[in-house]
Structure 1
Amino acid sequence: MKGAIIGDIVGSIYEFHNIKTKDFPLFSPNCFFTDDTVMTVAIAAALETAGKDAPDAVISRWMLKMMRGYGRTYPDRGYGGMFRRWLEDRHPRPYYSSGNGSAMRVSPVAWFARSMEECEKLARMSAEITHNHPDGICGAQATAGAVYLALHGGTKDDIMNYVSRYYDWDFCLDEIRPTYTFDHFASINEGTVPYAVEAFIESESFEDAIRNVISIGGDSDTLAAITGAIAEAYYGVPDELWEQAKVFMDDGGGLADTVERFYTLKDITKQGGGQ
C-alpha cells in the first residue's frame, strides 16, 4: 500500500510527459498524489472500518461509502470522466469499466485478506463497485493476488505464473520501451497490469522496480502504483522513501495517518517476502 502510493507520487509528473530512462530524480518538487492514492486509501479505510469478520455486503457498502467520501474530499486528483460522474450521482451504479482504476486501488485487500481465496473475493468486490466489466475484475484480482503472494513468501516465478492465469505476455522492458505510450490500450487493465508486473519481475530492489516502470512510459502513475504495491510486498519499502512521500501527502486530510493506522490492524503483517 505504501509502495502503491510512492509509485503514484513518483509517476505523477510523467503520466503525460513520458520518459524512457531509469535515470531521473525519484521525487521532484512538482510531484503530487493522484486519484490512485486517494482510492487506495479509501479501500484501506473501508476495510479498517468494516473489520475482519464483517459480512460481504457490509464491506461492499463501506467500500462504496469511503470511495465516494474520499473522492469528494479530493475532487481534483485526475479522475476519469465516468468515475467523476459516478462520484456526483445521487444513486451510483457500476459502469462496466475495463479501465485500470480497479487495479490501481486494490493493494490493501492483499494485506487484509487471510487467504488467497479471500484476497480474490475482496478484489472482486472492490472492483465491482465501479469496474464490473470482466477485465476490470481481472485487473484487480491479478494485482491483489500478486501482492498477496509476495507478502506470503512467493517467488517471482510464483507471481508471474499467477498473473499469467489472467494475462498472456511475452516481452521484456527493453523490447517495449521505445514504443509503449499512453494511449487507450495503456489505460485499460490488459495494457497496464502485465507491464507493471514485468517491471517488478525485472527489478533488483523496490526503488529499481519503480525506476523500471517509469522508464517504459504509458500511464506512469498507475503503472507505478501497481508495480510499487507488488514491490513493497516483496522487498519492503525503505523508510526514507515513505518519509519523502508523506511530504507530498501533508495536506491536513489525514491520508498518511490512515495508511499507517491500517498497518497496525490485527493480522496485517508481512509473512516473509520471496527474496
Structure 2
Amino acid sequence: MLGAIIGDIVGSVYEFSNIKTKDFELFKPNCRFTDDTIMTCAVADAIMNGGSESDYIRSMKKYGRMYPHAGYGGRFRVWLRSMDTEPYNSFGNGAAMRVSPCAWVMDCGFCARTGIWPSRDLARLSASITHNHPEGIKGALAVCDAIFMARFYFRGWYIEYSTPIDSDPDECKRRIKEHIEKEYGYDLSMPSEEIFKDYKFDETCQGSVPQAIIAFLESTDFEDAIRNAISIGGDSDTIAAITGSIAEAAYGIPEEMKEKALSYLDEPLKDILRRWKKYMRSDESWMK
C-alpha cells in the first residue's frame, strides 16, 4: 500500500494546480499526505483488526477524526463527524484509492494451485461501508483486481507452458487490461496523451479509475507510472494513489522513494505501516 501513499504525497501539490507534463519534481517541500493516505492506512488497520464491517467503520472514523483537515469529500467528512454508520450511496473515487491493502491479502498461491480467485469480500466491504453505489463498489473491485493480477503475473505466480510470464510485461498488462475491460466495462483504450488534452477534475470512480489504470498500463517502472498519473491532470493525488497502488504490485518501489515518502508521515501512520509489514510477513505467500 506504500505505492498508494507515494502517489498521494507526490500528487498532493498538483490536485488543484494540474501539471500536464511528466517533467516535474517528485517530492516537493510542500508535498503532504492527504485523506488518501489516511484512509488507505485505516483500511489496513481494519484488516489487521479482523476486517469486519465494524472494524472498517471504527478504523476510518478513528483515523479520520485524528486528521480532520486532510481533504475529505464533503459527504465523507459529515459521515466521519457523525455518530451515523450508514453508507450514503457514494460513487466517489475514495472507494478505489483506499482499497490496496485488501488486494495484498488475497492469496496468490491459492489461485496458482486451484485456478480460483481468492475472495474479494474485504475489498467490497471496504467500499460499501460508505460508497455503496454500484459504481463505487465497481471502482474499488477493479483496482483490487488490477493490483492482485499485477502481483500474480509480474511476480511469477502464473505459469504457461511450464514458464512464468513475468518476463513479458506487455503480456502481463494485456491480461490485466483485458480482464478489467471485460469484467467492469471500463474503456482502457485511450492513450494517456489523449486523455490529458481535455481531462477535467473528476472525483467519481467512473471518471478517474480508468484513467489511473491506463497510467499504469503505459508505464515502464514505478516512477514512470506516478509521472504518467500526475501528467493526466484532474484529481491528481487520488489518480496517482490508484496508479501507484497497482505499480507497486508490478514493479516494486525503489528504496530511496520509500524512504523519502516515509519522511512525510507522522508516527501514528508509520506505526500502521510497521504493523502491516509484520502482519503480512506472518504469511509469506501473500507477500510475493
Q: Which amino acid aligns with 2:217?
A: I
| Aligned pairs for 1:132-211 within 5 A | 132-153=132-153, 155-164=172-181, 165-166=183-184, 167-182=186-201, 186-211=202-227
Instruction: Indicate which of 63, 71, 76 corresponds to 2:69.
Output: 76
User: 1:6-60 deviations in whole A, cap 9, x for unaligned?
Assistant: 000000000000000000000000000000000000000111121xxxxxxx621
Instruction: Indicate which of 81, 88, 108 corresponds to 1:88.
Output: 81
| Aligned pairs for 1:104-143 within 5 A | 104-114=97-107, 117-143=117-143
Shift of 1:117: 4.5
User: 1:175-226 deviations in whole A, cap 9, x for unaligned?
Assistant: 11221121xxx21011111100100010000000000110010100000000
In the other structure, the counterpart of 2:159 is none
In the other structure, the counterpart of 2:12 is 12
User: 1:203-261 deviations in whole A, cap 9, x for unaligned?
Assistant: 00000000011001010000000000000000001111011011111x33x21221132
The normalised TM-score by structure 2 is 0.87
CA distance in 2, matches of 1:177, 1:91: 39
Shift of 1:267: 2.1
* C-alpha RMSD of the superposition: 1.4
Q: Secondary structure at the match of 2:287?
A: coil
Shift of 1:169: 3.5
Relative distance call for 1:240 and 1:13 in structure 2 (3 A) is same
Q: Which amino acid aligns with 2:79?
A: W
Contact 1:177/1:215 (<8 A) preserved: yes
Relative distance call for 1:79 and 1:234 in structure 2 (3 A) is same
CA distance in 2, matches of 1:120, 1:270: 17
4+ residue segments displaced more than 3 Å? 115-119
CA distance in 2, matches of 1:82, 1:207: 33
Q: Which amino acid aligns with 1:48?
A: M
**Which piece of structure 1 moves more, 207-216 or 149-158?**
149-158
Q: Secondary structure at the match of 1:187?
A: coil
CA distance in 2, matches of 1:126, 1:212: 27
Structure 1 gaps, min length 5: 51-57
Structure 2 gaps, min length 5: 155-171
Aligned length: 259
CA distance in 1, matches of 2:5, 2:55: 21
The normalised TM-score by structure 1 is 0.91
In the other structure, the counterpart of 2:158 is none
Instruction: Indicate which of 55, 65, 71 corresponds to 2:58.
Output: 65
CA distance in 1, matches of 2:214, 2:220: 12
Contact 1:109/1:119 (<8 A) preserved: no
Q: Percent identity?
A: 52
Q: Which amino acid aligns with 1:215?
A: S
Shift of 1:158: 1.8
Contact 1:119/1:145 (<8 A) preserved: no
Contact 1:213/1:227 (<8 A) preserved: yes
CA distance in 1, matches of 2:119, 2:261: 27
Contact 1:150/1:234 (<8 A) preserved: yes
CA distance in 1, matches of 2:64, 2:10: 21
